[in-house]
Chain A
Amino acid sequence: MNEIDELIHQKTRLSIMSHLYVSAKLGMLYLKQKTGISWGNLASHVAKLEEGGYVQVTVERENNKNITILELTNEGRKAFDSYREIMQQILTPED
């Protein structure tokens, strides 16, 4: 059996990945409101996912303020698919 992806296998990062998986793009502010964690915490988790190549981060400038937008990369999408598959294998009782 494949190993569980430790980068996704964490409550907040799983929540971030789940939201990005079912959307085209999401802002940091939206994710902050959905996860209920602080900016610092969220930024740290997003940085980890970005380093892992799962998330692409773009920053748009509007009215002298930055809007950070996140998008799942193809690699991230594949990783999440395989994570779901592994978790379902683990949780499905064997006959």
Chain B
Amino acid sequence: MEKHHSKYFVLQSIIYCKVLYIIMNKINDLYTIEQEIYRESISDGMMEIFMGILLFFVSLFWGNEEFISFGIIITLFIFPIIQERIRKRFVYPRTGYVEPKSDDSFEFTAFIIFMITIFLVSGLVVFLLPNGYEDTENLYRVIPFTLGMVMFGPAFELSDRSGQDRYLLLGILPTISGLAITVWSVSDVPWSPFTGIQLFAYVWGGLFITLGLIRFGIYIIRNPVNFEEGVDNE
């Protein structure tokens, strides 16, 4: 009888340890789950399309100032509504509704250091351009480079929250191309400094929209709607 009891006790302990092991893994895995949820929330390409449209409006603003109010209304108010309609129609029936936690880790000090760094590096680039600060057009010429560096903000955020370093390219590539346009626009190219800004915004706006549409297409192909279970019909 006692032998039977001790066997039962050993078996129970093993099962209990296994359960704890599974649970411990789950608890330690919360950060991974959070990153996975964030990745899922941006897998439909909508974010890239949004960034592309924003850059397009920067371009339109530089070309025609009356577009500014139109651009702000479209991107900040109308686009999220359109985006939600598209997601309800195409995304939620495929992979389900996903809303990641809002980022509450915003650090004001880090933001200020980031902005000061951008300001100082841009200032250094202006200084290094021919005629430096004497040529006031250099202050406009440097804007593509500055915009490129600003892109590091969302790039860092995306990389950190998704756990994918490739998002850093969204900061690196615009910075390099912004610097190239800045340097190029002081050569013999018959441009006004504003053309450089427009070129940067149009090219990156176009690239982001194209990338977003490709991601959206891939998302649709990879995640077909399950007509029986795609959305619970109650």
Structural contact, A91 and B24, CB atoms closer than 8 A: yes
Expressed in whole angstroms, the Cα–Cα distance for A4 and B29 within the complex equals: 20
How long is the Cα–Cα vector from A62 to B88 in the complex, in angstroms? 7
Q: Which residues of B contact A (CB under 8 A)?
A: 20, 22-24, 26-27, 29-31, 33-34, 37, 40, 88-89, 92-93, 95-102, 229-234
Find out whether the CB atom of B89 lies under 8 angstroms from the CB atom of A39. no
Task: Say yes or no: A87-B27 contact (C-beta < 8 A), given A19-B33, A19-B37.
Answer: yes
Query: Are A25 and B20 in contact (CB-based, < 8 A)?
Result: no
B33 touches A22 (CB 8 A): yes
A31 to B97 alpha-carbon distance, docked (Å): 9
Q: Tell me if A's interface is mostly helix, strand, loop or mixed.
A: helix
Dominant SS among interface residues on chain B: helix
Give me 13 A-to-B residue pairs in the complex whose CB atoms sit less than 8 angstroms apart, sorted by A's number. Answer: A22-B34, A24-B102, A25-B99, A26-B37, A26-B97, A30-B95, A32-B96, A33-B95, A39-B232, A62-B89, A65-B230, A84-B27, A90-B20
A27: chain B residues at CB < 8 Å are: 92, 96-98
Q: Of the candidates B23, B30, B89, B102, which one forms a contact with A63 in the assembled complex, judged by CB atoms under 8 Å apart?
A: B89
Given the complex of chains A and B, what is the CA–CA distance between A9 and B119 in angstroms?
Answer: 52
Q: Is A88 an interface residue (CB 8 A)?
A: yes
